[in-house]
C-alpha cells in the first residue's frame, strides 16, 4: 500500500471533488433568483477546479525542496496579501469579517495563502538540523513570534477559526519537530484562553458560543444554521430523500452551498453516503501520513505532516460544526464546499504531497539504499 499511497490519495480527492460538484449542482437551485443563472456557482467552481488542478500538477512536478529555499518569499507575499484586507475598497467586509480581497468580480481569501506559507516557514525552520532544537529561543520563541505575525493579521480580520487553525497546525508541526511538549502544552492553554477572551469581546462570536451551549434558546437567531442542519440530518435518515429532493437548501439553511453543504449531503443521500465522505477524508489522512513518514528528508516530513494536518483539521472542524459537536465557525469542507481560494490551496497541498511521494517512495535517496545494503551485508 505504501507504494500506491499517492494513487489512492488522488482517487479519494477525485471522489470528493465529484461529490462536491454534484452537491453544488443540487444546492444551486436558488441561484437563478439570486444571480440570474442556475449554473452560476457550478461555472465558478469549475473554473477554480481547473486552477486548483493546474496548481496541483505544478506542485507535483516541482521539487518540494524549492519551497524550503523560497519560504521567505511566499511568507512575505502572504503578509502583503493579508495587509490588503485592511485597505479600503480592496479589502471586503462580509458578515462582520474582513477576510477577502476583491477587484471587480474576482475575490480571493489571503488567509488560504497564509496557511500554506506558515507551513513552509515552520518546516524550513526546523529542518535546519536533523535533530530537534532543544534551545528555547531558537526552537520555540523565535518561530512562535514569526508565525504570530500572520496569525495576528488574520485575527484582526475577525477570523477566529482560521487563526485557531493556523495555531493548531503550527502546534502539530512543532510537536513533530521535537519541541518541548511542556512548552507546547502551555502554548495550547494560552492560545485557547486568548481566543475565548477575544470571542467574548465580539458580540457575534459570543452569540455563537451561547447558541452552542443553549441551542433551543437561539434556534431562530445565532443558532439557526446548526438547528436547520440538525433538521436536515434528521430528514435524511439512513437512505436520504434523494438527490435534489432536499428541502433545507431552499433558503432554510443559510450557506447550504458553502460551509453547511455536508448536512445537505446527509439530507439528500443519507447517513451511509455521509459516512463515505468521512471515510474518504480518513483515506486522505492515512495516505498523507504514510507519504510524509517516508519523505527523503526532515523538511519533507515536516512539510507533509503540516499539509495533511491542515486538511484534517479543516475537515474535522467543518464536520464537527455541521453536526453540532462544535460551535459554529466559518470553515469550508475541503474539496466539497463552494469556494475557490480554499479549493485551490487544498489541491496545491495535494500536489506537494505527490511530489514528496515521488522523491521519497518512488525515488528513495542513495544514502538510504546504501544503509539498507550495509545492514543486509552484516546479516549475511
Q: Which position has the grid cell 495516505?
A: 287
- Name the residue with higher pLDDT: 67 or 35: 67
**CA–CA separation, 290 and 271 (whole Å):** 28
pLDDT of 13 > 90? The answer is: yes
| CA dist 9 → 86, 133, 286, 350, 353 (Å) | 38, 32, 9, 8, 9
**Length of the chain measured in residues:** 380
* CB 334 within 8 Å of CB 346: yes
- Supply the pLDDT for residue 282: 97
- Supply the pLDDT for residue 34: 64
Q: Is 158 helix (H, G, I), strand (E, B) or coil?
A: coil
- Supply the pLDDT for residue 36: 67
Residue 72: count other Cβ atoms within 10 Å of its Cβ.
12
- Supply the pLDDT for residue 371: 37
**CA–CA separation, 305 and 313 (whole Å):** 12
**CA–CA separation, 176 and 153 (whole Å):** 26
- Tens digits of per-residue pLDDT, 119-132? 999 999 999 887 77
Q: Percentage of the chain surpassing pLDDT 90? A: 51
DSSP 34-93: HHS-TTHHHHHHHHHHHHHHHHHHHHHHS-THHHHHSHHHHHHHHHHHHHHTTSTTTEEE
Give the model's confidence band at 33: pLDDT under 50 very low, under 70 low, under 90 confident, else very high: low
Instruction: Note if the pTM is more than 0.85.
Output: yes
pLDDT of 116 > 80? The answer is: yes
- Supply the pLDDT for residue 362: 67
**CA–CA separation, 134 and 153 (whole Å):** 29
* Lowest-pLDDT range of 43-47, 54-58, 203-207, 233-237: 203-207
- Supply the pLDDT for residue 6: 87
- Tens digits of per-residue pLDDT, 196-235? 887 777 766 777 777 777 777 777 777 788 888 899 999 8
Instruction: Choose among 281, 283, 300: nearest CA to 358.
Output: 300
Give the model's confidence band at 380: pLDDT under 50 very low, under 70 low, under 90 confident, else very high: very low
- Name the residue with higher pLDDT: 101 or 165: 165
- Supply the pLDDT for residue 372: 34
Burial 230-259 (b: 16+ CB within 10 A, else e): bbbbebbeeebbeeeebebbeeebeebbbb
* CB 139 within 8 Å of CB 181: no
Region 56-64: mean pLDDT is 95
Mean pLDDT for the chain overall: 86
* CB 302 within 8 Å of CB 278: no
The DSSP call for residue 97 is E
- Name the residue with higher pLDDT: 29 or 14: 14
Give the model's confidence band at 366: pLDDT under 50 very low, under 70 low, under 90 confident, else very high: low
Q: Which helix (H) or strand (E) holds 352?
A: helix 340-357
- Tens digits of per-residue pLDDT, 323-351? 988 888 878 999 999 988 999 999 999 99
- Supply the pLDDT for residue 370: 35
pLDDT of 160 > 90? The answer is: no
Q: Percentage of the chain surpassing pLDDT 70? A: 91
Region 14-23: mean pLDDT is 94
Q: Which helix (H) or strand (E) holds 98?
A: strand 97-103
Can you give 297-349 as a three-state secondary structure string?
Answer: CHHHHHHHHHHHHHHHHHHHHHHHHHCCCCCCCCCCCCCCCCCHHHHHHHHHH
pLDDT of 189 > 50? The answer is: yes
184, burial (CB in 10 Å: exposed 0-12, middle 13-18, buried 19+): middle
Amino acid at each position: 500500500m505504501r507504494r500506491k499511497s499517492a494513487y489512492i490519495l488522488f482517487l479519494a480527492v477525485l471522489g470528493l471533488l465529484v461529490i462536491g460538484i454534484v452537491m453544488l449542482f443540487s444546492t444551486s437551485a436558488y441561484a437563478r433568483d439570486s444571480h440570474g443563472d442556475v449554473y452560476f456557482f457550478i461555472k465558478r467552481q469549475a473554473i477554480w477546479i481547473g486552477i486548483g488542478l493546474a496548481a496541483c500538477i505544478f506542485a507535483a512536478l516541482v521539487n518540494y525542496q524549492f519551497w524550503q529555499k523560497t519560504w521567505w518569499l511566499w511568507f512575505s507575499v502572504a503578509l502583503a496579501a493579508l495587509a490588503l484586507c485592511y485597505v479600503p475598497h480592496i479589502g471586503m467586509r462580509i458578515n462582520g469579517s474582513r477576510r477577502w480581497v476583491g477587484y471587480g468580480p474576482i475575490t480571493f481569501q489571503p488567509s488560504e495563502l497564509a496557511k500554506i506559507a506558515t507551513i513552509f516557514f515552520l518546516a524550513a525552520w526546523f529542518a535546519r538540523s536533523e535533530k530537534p532544537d532543544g534551545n528555547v529561543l531558537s526552537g520555540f520563541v523565535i518561530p512562535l513570534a514569526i508565525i504570530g505575525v500572520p496569525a495576528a493579521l488574520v485575527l484582526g480580520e475577525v477570523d477566529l477559526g482560521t487563526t485557531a487553525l493556523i495555531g493548531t497546525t503550527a502546534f502539530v508541526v512543532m510537536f513533530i519537530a521535537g519541541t518541548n511538549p511542556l512548552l507546547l502544552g502551555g502554548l495550547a492553554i494560552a492560545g485557547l484562553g486568548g481566543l475565548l477572551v477575544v470571542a467574548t469581546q465580539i458580540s457575534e462570536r459570543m452569540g455563537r458560543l451561547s447558541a452552542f451551549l443553549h441551542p433551543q434558546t437561539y434556534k431562530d437567531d445565532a443558532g439557526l444554521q446548526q438547528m436547520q442542519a440538525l433538521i436536515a440530518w434528521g430528514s435524511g435518515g439512513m437512505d436520504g430523500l434523494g438527490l435534489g429532493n432536499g428541502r433545507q437548501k431552499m433558503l432554510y439553511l443559510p450557506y447550504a452551498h458553502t460551509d453547511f453543504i455536508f448536512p445537505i449531503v446527509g439530507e439528500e443521500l443519507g447517513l451511509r453516503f455521509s459516512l463515505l465522505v468521512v471515510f474518504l477524508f480518513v483515506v486522505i489522512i492515512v495516505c498523507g501520513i504514510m507519504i510524509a513518514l517516508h519523505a527523503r528528508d526532515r523538511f519533507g516530513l515536516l512539510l507533509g505532516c503540516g499539509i495533511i494536518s491542515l486538511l484534517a483539521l479543516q475537515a474535522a472542524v467543518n464536520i464537527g460544526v455541521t453536526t453540532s459537536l462544535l460551535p459554529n465557525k466559518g470553515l469550508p469542507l475541503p474539496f466539497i464546499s463552494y469556494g475557490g481560494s480554499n479549493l485551490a490551496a487544498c489541491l496545491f497541498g495535494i500536489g506537494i504531497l505527490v511530489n514528496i511521494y515521488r522523491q521519497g517512495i518512488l525515488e528513495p535517496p542513495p544514502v538510504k539504499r546504501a544503509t539498507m545494503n550495509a545492514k543486509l551485508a552484516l546479516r549475511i
